[in-house]
Structure 1
Amino acid sequence: MPTAVAELNGYRKDRINHDEPVPAAGEVEPPAWMVAVHQLADDGEESALQVWRRLAPDLIAKKVLTPWDVEAFAVYCTSVVGYRRAAIEVAVEGMTTRGSQGVVKNPAVTAMKDCADLMNRYGAKFGLTPSDRAALAIKPDEGKGKGAERLLG
């Protein structure tokens, strides 16, 4: 559990890592593979890179998204797009489809579930779910301290 969350949850002080490593300041850019996929798959739908560009600036400003987190956030952005695409397929084709053995569950339903699970798991790491966000507070002078000090209110 991250130090900031442990402190917010009232963990004993001797169980909290007060020397948590803090990423060095630096540019937070989407991974090169995400940019390449965006260029290859330009199909008019919102891409993972566009999700990144929509959400990342606010997360970077709040010091939640750092250079160390780019791959994990890329997984989140990719799962958002995967979920949307699967949801469209389910809306068009329905929850079931005809298979060789009769009516079967549309594989897009499973894809939706898998992407939703990834969105929840990775989104929680960045405070992108309401319950995870409720557990955190960010100081107005964020970034002045190190480790949990930059997140605790």
Structure 2
Amino acid sequence: MAQAQEPANLRLLKGRGDGRDSGGRKVEQGPGFKRTPPHPPIWLEGEALDVWRRITPELTRLDLLKEGDAEVLATYCETWVDFVEATATIKREGYYIDARQGTLKHPAVGIKHAAAKELRAIAAHFGLTPSTEQALARGGADDNDAENPFD
């Protein structure tokens, strides 16, 4: 399965400068989407809405969001809630359950692992993984950002 290509702005942030990515290849900007942050869906609430409010300011500052990203971003936020709830269930009820067939992994273990996999996949599209953190901090900061140690 082919991995989806990162957004042009993200490739440039991780790149060598002069419009080139980390491999020295010219980065085509693609369509000129209007880079305005999406509004959270009205049904997004609780911890999912908190996650939205935590991550959108940085993604907006880096020009990585457009209005059409709302659904994918909402999926990320809701999946985070699934991960947290599954983790809490495992802590409360244990990693294993006794069943008629014998001792089995708790169903929440599968939910947690599936959510973690989905979170990593979506996070990579937005540059939210630790492997992109340094590149984003170095390339995405404003010149006036005195708090950024990577400038």
Q: 1:47 deviation in Å?
A: 2.2
Contact 1:96 1:105 in 2 (8 A): yes
Q: Which residues in structure 2 correspond to 1:77-88 (within 5 Å)?
A: 77-88=77-88
Matched, 1:115 2:125: no
Match of 2:142 among 129, 140, 143: 140
Greater relative contact order, per chain length (Cα 8 Å cut-off, separation 6+): 1
- Percent identity of paired positions between Structure 1 and Structure 2: 33
Structure 2 equivalent of residue 24 of structure 1 = 34
Greater fraction of residues in helix:
1
List runs of 5+ in structure 1 lacking aligned partners: 39-45, 142-152
Structure-2 separation of matches of 1:90 and 1:30: 30
2:121 alignment partner, SS class: helix
Q: 1:99 deviation in Å?
A: 1.6
Structure-2 separation of matches of 1:132 and 1:25: 20
Structure 2 equivalent of residue 100 of structure 1 = 100
Contact 2:37 2:65 in 1 (8 A): no
Structure 2 equivalent of residue 8 of structure 1 = 21
Structure-2 separation of matches of 1:27 and 1:134: 23
Structure 2 equivalent of residue 148 of structure 1 = none
CA gap of 1:12–1:63, structure 2 versus 1, over 3 A, is closer
Report the more deviating stretch, 22-31 or 49-58: 22-31
Moved segments of 4+, more than 4 Å: none
Structure-2 separation of matches of 1:22 and 1:130: 28
Report the more deviating stretch, 72-81 or 57-66: 57-66
Q: 1:61 deviation in Å?
A: 2.4
Q: What number of residue pairs does the alignment pair up?
A: 129
Matched, 1:65 2:70: no
TM-score, normalized by length of structure 1?
Answer: 0.72
List runs of 5+ in structure 2 lacking aligned partners: 13-19, 144-150
Structure-2 separation of matches of 1:140 and 1:47: 30
Amino acid at match of 1:112: K
Q: 1:127 deviation in Å?
A: 1.6
Structure-2 separation of matches of 1:105 and 1:54: 33
